[in-house]
Amino acid sequence: MKTNIIYNESSETMHQINNESIDMIVTSPPYNINISYGNKVSKGKIIQSKGVKYKDNLQEDNYRLMLEKVFSECKRVLKKDGSIFINIKNRYNDGTILSPFWIQDYFKDMFLKNIIIWNFDWGGSTNKRFAPRYEYVFWFTKDKEKYKFNLDSIKIPALNYRPDRYKSQLKNPSDVWKISMVSGNFEERTEHPAQYPERLIERIIGCSTFKNDIVLDPFMGSGTTAAVAKKMSRNYIGYEIVPEYIKISEDRLKKCKKGELLDERDC
C-alpha cells in the first residue's frame, strides 16, 4: 500500500487502502453550503478555473449519501485502536441554523470521546445576529478503551499554576481550543476557500498518533493534513476530486520539511 500520496478521485471507494491499516483520520467534509470550490478568487472576484469543480450544493439526500459512503470506507480502513476527527460547523440557511449533530448517526458503532469547540476571533460579519465564531471537531474512536491519546505531547502552559496544588506547569488544553482561522497574511494561506489551520491539525495529530503512523484525509483540499503530517514525521494518504487543489497540496508539500515540527516529546 502506497503512502504519502494524494489520489485525484472520490473517497467514496478507497480501494487503494487495505483494511485496518490507517492510524488516524482527520478531515473537514464539504459543508454543502454552495462554496465555490475549484474557482480561483482574485480581488474578491471569482475567476473560473479549468478542470473539474466540486459543486457544494448537492441535494441534501445525495450529500448525506456521499458522506455515508466515505465514512463507511473510513471505518473499514481504520485500525482497531484508531480515531476519526471530523471538523464541521453549523450551517445557516433560510433564516435558521442547522447544527451538525446528525454526523453522530454515522458513527453509532464507534465511541464519541469529545466534541471540541474550535473558537476563533474573526470570520464572516453580520449585524442581524451574533457573529459565528466557532466550529466543532467530533472525535470518535473505534475501541472504547484502547486508543491513542498522547496528552503529554499537546499540553499547554497552566497560567493559573500553583506549586502547592499542581504537579506540573502544563495542563490539558480542554475541549475548547482557541486557534486563529487562516488569515490572508498567513504563510500557509492558499487559494482554497475552506482551508483549516495547521495549528488545529498539529494538536490532533500530536495527541492521536506517533512518529511514522499513517494519517488519512478523505477530503484533502489544499493539503493541510498532509503538510502537517509530513512536518511531524507521520505518513499521509489523501483524496481530493479537484485537480487544482492537488497541485496546491504538492507545491505546499515541497516547501515543508519532514520532521520540522518534531520536538523531544515526540516518540
Ligand X SMILES: C[S@@+](CC[C@H](N)C(=O)[O-])C[C@H]1O[C@@H](n2cnc3c(N)ncnc32)[C@H](O)[C@@H]1O
> Given the rule CB under 6 A, which residues bind ligand X?
10-12, 28, 30, 37, 54, 66, 192, 194-196, 219, 221-222, 224, 239-242, 245
| Least gap, CB of 26 to ligand X (angstroms) | 9
Cβ neighbours of 161 (radius 10 Å): 12
Residue 118 vs 245, nearer CB to ligand X = 245
| Least gap, CB of 259 to ligand X (angstroms) | 21
CA atoms within 13 A on the CB side of 227: 26
What residue ranges in the chain does DSSP mark as E strands?
Answer: 5-7, 22-27, 40-42, 45-47, 78-88, 91-93, 96-98, 111-119, 134-141, 156-157, 170-171, 176-178, 214-217, 235-239
Residue 68 vs 152, nearer CB to ligand X = 68
The residue of the chain with the least Cβ separation from ligand X equals 221
For 45, list phi and psi in degrees, rounded to 5.
-105, 140
**Rounded distance between C-alpha atoms, residue 205 and residue 61, angstroms:** 32
**Rounded distance between C-alpha atoms, residue 150 and residue 252, angstroms:** 27
The dihedral over CA atoms of 6, 211, 225, 179, expressed in degrees to the nearest 10, equals: 180
Residue 56 vs 81, nearer CB to ligand X = 56
Dig out the grid coordinates for 173 from the structure.
488544553
Residue 23 vs 240, nearer CB to ligand X = 240
| Least gap, CB of 172 to ligand X (angstroms) | 25
Residue 52 vs 158, nearer CB to ligand X = 52
Residue 155 vs 247, nearer CB to ligand X = 247
**Rounded distance between C-alpha atoms, residue 99 and residue 150, angstroms:** 30
| Least gap, CB of 54 to ligand X (angstroms) | 4
| Least gap, CB of 111 to ligand X (angstroms) | 24
| Least gap, CB of 239 to ligand X (angstroms) | 4
| Ramachandran region, residue 169 (left: φ > 0; alpha: ψ -120 to 50; beta: rest) | alpha
| Least gap, CB of 231 to ligand X (angstroms) | 14
Residue 102 vs 161, nearer CB to ligand X = 102
